Structure 1
Amino acid sequence: MNKNEFINYFNEYDDKNSISLLYDKFLLANKTNKELFTNEFYPPYIWSKVSRLANNHSIALKTEGIFELSERRLIGFNVDQYSLFPMKVLKIENKSKFSILSHKDYLGAIMALGIKRNKFGDFIVNENCCYTVVHEDIYEYVLTNLNKIGNSSCKVSLIENLELLPQVSFNRQIILVSSDRIDCVISSICNISRSKAQDLVASSKVMINYIEINEKDVLIKEKDIITVRGYGKFRIGENIGTSLKGKLRKEILKYV
């Protein structure tokens, strides 16, 4: 597979430069059989496809994002179970007693430091703290420079005992849908009309596995991550049968 073919394999991913760098790692790993890690975190759509390619080329590949069910992950080529990925876990503590910070507040504060989104992984917000995974080449910069989130002061510290980490939490619900079309599923999980769901899709406010879509008849599948701007992020669970009227009964996990 040449570079153009590799890039086209991920044609729905906008950051072609990131895919180009990934190809260089993939090619070098295939030629040298040396342990290599990406310098960026990739969403499920990317690392799952790379895993399939690596398997076809007999490359030992592992992905890691620290948290259980991590979505954004570093990719390691020719690694074993003892390999250490170049990442650190940071705890960001909101020191203000008068503000409640959300996932997007912490995300925005780190990006305001001039750090690209692909240099850090998932976020878990727990009570008045946020835990996130960052590439080791930027963690000291974040430790030194992140001291405010909006108008709230914060404290950043390095977490070394990973047993202290909270896990991603979900609200579980069961929905009934007539089909696996994205507009149908969004209508149910967001409790909006089908036409409103179609408008959201058409206006690029819906992502499947972090890739924007604008076609209402795209089919979703188990383990897909659905993000709907203004409504939240959802993980598609398993199908658990049908209703008496023939509708699909589907498990939905909404990220808290």
Structure 2
Amino acid sequence: MNIYQHFREDERDFIDTVLAWKDDVDHQFAPKLTNFLDPREQFIVASIIGQNDDVAYSFFGGGEVVERKRCFLYPSYFKPDVEDYRISLFQIHYHQKFNTLDHRQVLGSLMSIGLGREKFGDILFDNGIIQFFADSDLKDYVMMNFESVGKATIKVDEIPLENALKATDIWKESMETVSSLRLDVVLSALLNMGRSKSRLLISSGKVKVNWREEESSSFLCEPGDIISIRGYGRIKVMAVEGKTKKDKWRMTVGLLK
């Protein structure tokens, strides 16, 4: 069976990487820790590794309810601990009276000091408090180089994982029926708008899939995809359940506004 046929063409390189991870663990009898993966990448790992008798896997992102997680692959007899995921939690200190910081600014500032998006996890906000998870191996680098966000001067401290802010995002799950898994069709159905308007949102760069701008209306949605629509919130494709007798697709989605 051709494993690639179950995934998108542009996901082939990542699939090859996952297969290599699996083979390394299987043949070297040693665990493998990945970078932070987005929900779609986590779905691919779970699909490929599946119920393998020799190689097991688990995900952890530092907190109870987070989107970006590291995957730990290990021989089935191995029992992983939290420390095996090598995740540190950092809190940003800044003058809240004079500065208002948002997710986009923190994300951009972390990447501007040379951190790839795969090296840090979720960024958490609550009443002016800002925290983020990152690879523990980069702790010293982060604390020495992360000194500003936008125009705000900041200071970063490492704090225990158990002090992580609780996620406030609540996905409202529902079962939906759509005529196609095309991006424009899904948006039209779930946001209750015409196809022409959903296509305009996509072509004008207001729609991201898995944190990457997607300008193709014919993009096919799959489980694990997170769709962000500027001004409308986010949609998470939880599962695609199959077709109805009328040849329409049943899908479970989460809505977040």
**Which residue identity lines up with residue 100 of structure 2 in the other structure?**
I
Asked if structure 2 preserves the Cα contact closer than 8 Å seen for 1:206 and 1:214, the reply is no
- One-letter amino acid of the structure 2 residue matched with residue 73 of structure 1: K
Post-superposition CA distance 1:86-110 (Å, at most 9, x none):
1111112332413321111110110
Alignment-mate amino acid for residue 52 of structure 1: S
- 1:120 equivalent to 2:109? Answer no
Kindly state the Cα deviation for residue 142 of structure 1 after the two structures are TM-superposed: 1.2
Contact 2:91–2:131 (Cα < 8 Å) also in 1 = yes
Does 2:48 correspond to 1:47? no
- How far apart are residue 29 of structure 1 and its match? 0.5
Which structure 2 residue ranges, 5 or more long, are not aligned?
241-249
Q: Shift of residue 125 of structure 1?
A: 1.5
Equivalent residue number for residue 216 of structure 2: 214
Does residue 1:76 correspond to 2:76, yes or no?
A: no
Distance 2:43 2:175 in 1: 27
Partner Cα separation in structure 2 for residue 171 and residue 27 of structure 1: 36
The equivalent of 2:9 in structure 1 is 11
In structure 2, do the counterparts of structure 1 residues 122 and 193 end up closer, same or farther at CA, with 3 Å as the change threshold? same
| Residues 188 and 158 of structure 1, relative CA distance in 2, 3 Å threshold | farther
Q: CA deviation at 1:75?
A: 1.2
Superposition CA RMSD, Å: 3.8
Amino acid at match of 1:53: I
Correspondent of 1:30 among 19, 26, 29: 26
Alignment partner, residue 243 of structure 1: none
| DSSP 3-state at the match of 1:134 | strand
Equivalent in 62, 66, 70 of residue 62 of structure 2: 66
Of 45-54 and 190-199, the range deviating more from structure 2: 190-199
1:104 corresponding residue in structure 2: 104
Q: Which residue of 1 aligns with 2:200?
A: 199
TM-score (ref. length: structure 2): 0.74
What is the alpha-carbon distance in structure 1 between the residues aligned to residue 42 and residue 238 of structure 2? 20
Query: Are the structure 2 counterparts of residues 113 and 187 from structure 1 closer, same or farther at C-alpha, using a change threshold of 3 Å?
Result: same
Distance 1:64 1:108 in 2: 23
1:138: which partner in 2? 138
Cα separation, 1, equivalents of 2:102 and 2:175 = 26
CA contact (8 A) 1:37 1:74 kept: yes
Question: What letter is aligned with 1:143?
Answer: M
Give, in whole Å, the separation in 1 of the partners of 2:7 and 2:239.
27
Secondary structure of 1:199's partner? Answer: helix
| 1:109-188 alignment runs, 5 A limit | 109-170=109-170, 172=172, 179=179, 181=181, 182-187=183-188
* Separation in structure 2 between the aligned mates of residue 204 and residue 32 of structure 1, nearest angstrom: 45
1:193 CA displacement: 4.3
> Cα distance, 1:11 vs. partner?
3.3
Per the alignment, in what secondary structure is the counterpart of residue 198 of structure 2? helix
The count of residues paired between Structure 1 and Structure 2 equals 241
CA–CA distance in structure 1, aligned partners of residues 200 and 166 of structure 2:
36
- Which position in structure 2 is the counterpart of 1:242? none
Query: In structure 1, how many angstroms separate the alpha carbons of the residues matched to 2:222 and 2:19?
Result: 28
- Label 1:207 to 1:134 Cα distance change in 2 as closer, same or farther (>3 A): same
Report the Cα distance in structure 2 between the residues aligned to 1:191 and 1:130, rounded to whole angstroms. 34
